[in-house]
Amino acid sequence: MNLEDLKPEVIQICKEVGQFIREEAQAFDRSRIEFKHGFNNLVSYVDKEAEQKLVRHLKRLIPGSGFLAEEGTGSSSRNEFDWIIDPLDGTTNFMHGLPVFAISVGLAKHGKPVLGVVYEVNRNECFHATINNPAYCNDQPIRVSVVSQLNESLLATGFPYNYSDKKENYLEIIRLFLEQTHGIRRLGSAAIDLAYVACGRFEGFFEYNLNAWDVAAGALIVQQAGGRVTDFSGGNNFLHGGEIIAAGEVHSPMLELIKSQWFKKKA
């Protein structure tokens, strides 16, 4: 299978579904908001319909492929190829009329991401890459930032819906980064955060309690843009492990700071 030939078809599908999301945003019915796994973890009919559209079209690109998707589409066993999708990353932003949300579509072969597309709906920016090839924003090649010092960096993070016993450790990490960088932004979409790391708008991104569909596409794009992606221990379990650090030249100092606090036992 030629992934570079497949990628334009995936991009076109994302743009078509993005048009549906754009149209729904103009007259979104907030009475149809649903709650899942907590009062601030929201889902809408737009998420569900967008996922159905993505699955229907992606399925025909690779017959027999599996799906791991946020709103419940899945397969019972791992296939050679699995689509890992978030139909609307930034649902809370969408529901409140904040124009920061994206479609995230990753393709994994034997569990390893090999293709990624992140389509930021409102800016009409499509970030994309296949393994062992350059990363792009629309038609322009992109690279991670060459800034190597934390004190010259702008970082991104997110706050999990379900706070664990690591909450205090995480807040301390944020406090230290605030003291040592140009600042931290919280956009509300991990897919967009990763895409912005890939094109150098952010020097780095970190978060925990994420799922595979949040990061599969964006992490690959960062890697193909010259960045490094790990979990909080510096390992490779970022796809299913719930922790991610993605950055360019500041990855090492970010990792050092995060490790110093994340694994510290609180009194």
CA distance 67 to 11: 17
The identity of residue 171, as a single letter, is L
Mean pLDDT by 10 residues, the chain (267 residues): 96 97 80 49 74 95 92 68 96 90 97 97 97 98 98 94 79 97 98 98 96 97 98 97 97 98 80
| Separation CA 187–CA 11 (nearest Å) | 23
Burial grade of 52 (CB within 10 A; 0-12, 13-18, 19 or more): middle
For residue 32, what pLDDT is reported? 55
What is the structure's pLDDT at 38? 44
What is the structure's pLDDT at 264? 84
pLDDT of residue 30: 60
Q: Tell me the two tokens of residue 70.
A: 């946020």
Quote the pLDDT of residue 39: 39
Residue-range domains of the chain with CATH: 3-142 (3.30.540.10), 150-262 (3.40.190.80)
User: Is residue 231 within 8 Å of residue 185, measured between CB atoms?
Assistant: no
**Res 45: pLDDT:** 80
What is the CA angle 132-136-142, rounded to 5? 95
| Buried/exposed 217-255: b ≥16 CB within 10 Å, e otherwise | bbbbbbbbbbbbbbbbeeeeebbebbbbbbbbbbbebbb
- Residue among 262, 84, 85 nearest 168 (CA): 262
Return the pLDDT at 224.
98
For residue 86, the cross-strand partners are 104
Give the pLDDT score at 42.
Answer: 47
